[in-house]
Amino acid sequence: MKYLIKSIIALSLLTVVLTGCGSNGENKNEVQTEKKFEIVTLSKESIKQIRLEIETARLQPITGFITVPAKVLTDQDNEAQIGSLVQGRVKEVFVKAGDHVKAGQVLMTVEGLDVGEIKAGYLKSKANLDFAKADFERHKILYEQNVGSKQSYLEAKAEFEKTEAEFNAEDKKIHSIGLNDDDILGEKTDSHTAGTLPIKSSINGVVVERNVVIGQLVDATTNAFKVINTNTVWIDGQLYEKDITKLNQKTSAEFTAPAFQNEKFNGKIIYIGQTVEEQTRTITIRGEFSNAANKLKPQMFGELKIPLGSGAKGILVNEEAIVRDAGETYLFVQLSDSTFQKRNVIAGIGSGGMVEIKEGLKEGDKVVSKGSFFLKSELKKEELSGD
């Protein structure tokens, strides 16, 4: 009985050991098979027949351009939100969206009690100043001729300086709401326009937004009009952070858009962003472009082409070495005289028949520069036979 129990235990242990060995062997074969599909082995005759060429990957200067997606924007120095700083109701509107306007052109008029009070305050301070100035000059002449007293002269001077300060305050007030001296002094005092404020364009450009109608109540928070001037525009591109060292500051740039396929627009880089966008890992590059013909419209998409800086370097390989297949980008690295490994890479800038390899390759690696297509075919055969 004891012998029978020992035999059963021994048989069970042997079964467990054999099962474990079989499992490990199977996993090992799977790993080898997967790795095998990344390796291509060729005979010397095959290598000679397909005229395989090898080059050594090395760091070298990159010349050419970086092309990045970009969008046209309004130059903020040529964009204006226009409205009334004084509360009132819109009396008249003289423009609509699409109209070309000039700086100083009246876009609408606003009528309100506050406008009349501001104008009246200015006129009153102006009259007081004129009187005080004339009185001061009279006392000054008398004092210089030893006819008037010094006290009267000093009192007249103080009054003049006081009224001058009051006038300056009122003058600044009318300028702050968009009026000037001629706007008020040119009005007839008996007219009904004393409480009317003309709202003028601050720049030359095109009205792209009109947000008011006659009779509407407006105040300092109302953006009545938006005027833009697109004689110059900004174009913002998104550059990957790895490429930032390849650019020179304030370099030239070129923009192309699908709407103008045979036309190139020239400008210059005026700003390189200081922060990296967290999701896309890109940095904003801004160019300034002349747009006298107004062909480029804000929010238009295209590509920004930026020349590389003189100090730009990278690992370059022959363009024929790169294989793009089924969403993969790879090349073949020589491991021995007859063995070649498939290596997934991230390609970068193209320059004169050469392509930069950002990731997946290091200096000194021997890369198949010609014959990659044949190696790809052999790799596919091995995958199919393996399946």
Assigned CATH topology for domain 80-112+200-229: OB fold (Dihydrolipoamide Acetyltransferase, E2P) (2.40.50)
**All structural domains of the chain with their residue ranges:** 39-62+313-386, 65-75+231-307, 80-112+200-229, 113-194
| pLDDT digit string (tens) for the chain, length 387 residues | 444 344 444 444 434 333 444 444 444 433 333 444 588 888 888 888 888 889 988 888 777 778 889 999 999 999 999 999 899 999 999 999 999 999 999 999 999 888 878 888 888 998 999 999 999 999 888 888 888 888 998 999 999 999 999 989 988 888 877 777 776 765 554 444 458 889 999 999 999 999 999 999 999 999 999 999 999 999 999 988 878 877 766 688 999 999 898 899 999 999 988 899 888 889 999 999 999 888 999 999 999 988 876 667 788 888 889 998 888 899 999 999 889 999 999 887 776 778 888 888 988 899 998 888 888 888 887 666 655
Query: Which residues pair with residue 252 across a beta bridge?
Result: 268
Question: Which pTM does this prediction carry?
Answer: 0.61
> What is the identity of the amino acid at 32?
Q
Give domain 113-194's CATH number out of 1.10.287, 1.10.10, 2.30.170, 3.30.300.
Answer: 1.10.287
Exposure b/e, 282-295, CB count within 10 A at least 16 = b: bbbbbbbbebeeee
CATH architecture designation of domain 39-62+313-386:
Beta Barrel (2.40)
Q: What is the CATH number of domain 65-75+231-307?
A: 2.40.30.170
CA-nearest of 195, 172, 177, 198 to 117 is 195
Q: Cβ contacts of residue 276 below 8 Å, gap of 6+?
A: 241, 282, 283
CB 286 within 8 Å of CB 235:
yes
DSSP letter for 309, please.
Answer: P
| Residue for token pair 């109302």 | 222
C-beta neighbour count of 345 within 10 angstroms: 22
CB 108 within 8 Å of CB 199:
yes
Distance from C-alpha of 249 to C-alpha of 322, rounded to nearest angstrom: 31
